[in-house]
């Protein structure tokens, strides 16, 4: 089992969700995060004083999947999340050693 993690631009969330649903993904979890990267932050002004805010709002997606699906899911996310502009985000894959569905106690692929 794998966990596909993606950091994307928030307004791409609906597109990305639709895209992975097309692949038959039945569930995922998102978190509101703040990203720092090449897409430097921006200057904010506070009563005449400027300061740089390095962090930009991003959304993190986590999708548990079977081993073989990870790459296709990652690719699908990459396609759907791309705007071509700096700050589009990253996708990565982490190995997972066990998965359970809480409701039923089912384990492994059945738990997805």
Partner 1 sequence: MLFDVNNLSSGDTAWVIMSAALVLFMTPGLALFYGGMVRAKHVLAMLMQNFFSMGLISILWVTVGYSLAFGGTGKWIGNFDFFGMKDVAKMYPADPSGVEWFSLFTIPPLIFMAYQMMFAVITPALITGAVADRMRFSAWVWFLGLWSILVYSPVAHWVFSPSGWLFEKGALDFAGGTVVHINAGIAALVLTVMLGKRKGWPQRPMPPHNLPLTMIGTGILWFGWFGFNAGSALVANGLAAQAFVNTNLAAAAAMLSWLAVERIKGGHATTLGAASGAVAGLVAITPCAGFVGGMAPVYIGLIAGVVCFFGISLKNKFGFDDSLDVIGVHLVGGIVGSMLLGLFSDKAINSVGADGTFFGGGATLLGKQAIAVVATLVFSGVMTFIIAKVLDIVIPGGLRVSEEDEESGLDLSQHAEVGYALQSQ
> Does 43 sit near partner 1 (CB under 8 A)?
yes
Which run of H or E residues covers position 53? Answer: strand 49-53
Burial 65-75 (b: 16+ CB within 10 A, else e): beeebbeebbe
> Does 53 sit near partner 1 (CB under 8 A)?
yes
60 contact, one of partner 1, its own copies, ligand ADP, none, CB 5-8 Å limit per kind: its own copies
Identify whether the C-beta of residue 4 lies closer than 8 Å to the C-beta of residue 30: no
> Does 97 sit near partner 1 (CB under 8 A)?
no
Least distance in angstroms from the C-beta of 22 to partner 1: 16
> Does 47 sit near partner 1 (CB under 8 A)?
yes
CA distances from 65 to 9, 14, 29, 41 (A): 22, 19, 12, 33
Phi, psi values for residue 32, rounded to 5°: -85, 120
For binding to partner 1 (CB under 8 A), which residues are involved?
Answer: 9-11, 13-14, 32, 34, 42-51, 53, 55-59, 85
For binding to its own copies (CB under 8 A), which residues are involved?
Answer: 1-3, 6-8, 17, 26-38, 54-55, 58, 60, 64, 70-71, 74, 77-78, 81-103, 105, 111
């Amino acid at each position: 089992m794998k966990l596909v993690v993606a950091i994307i631009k928030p307004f791409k969330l609906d597109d990305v969700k639709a895209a992975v649903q097309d692949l038959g993904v039945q569930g995922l979890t998102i978190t509101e995060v703040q990203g720092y990267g090449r897409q430097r932050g921006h200057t904010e002004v506070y009563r005449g004083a400027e300061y740089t805010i390095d962090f930009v709002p991003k959304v993190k997606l986590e999708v548990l999947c079977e081993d073989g699906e990870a790459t296709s899911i990652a690719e699908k996310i990459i396609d759907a999340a791309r705007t071509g502009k700096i700050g589009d985000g990253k996708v990565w894959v982490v190995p997972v050693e066990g998965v359970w569905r809480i409701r039923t106690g089912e384990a492994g692929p059945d738990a997805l």
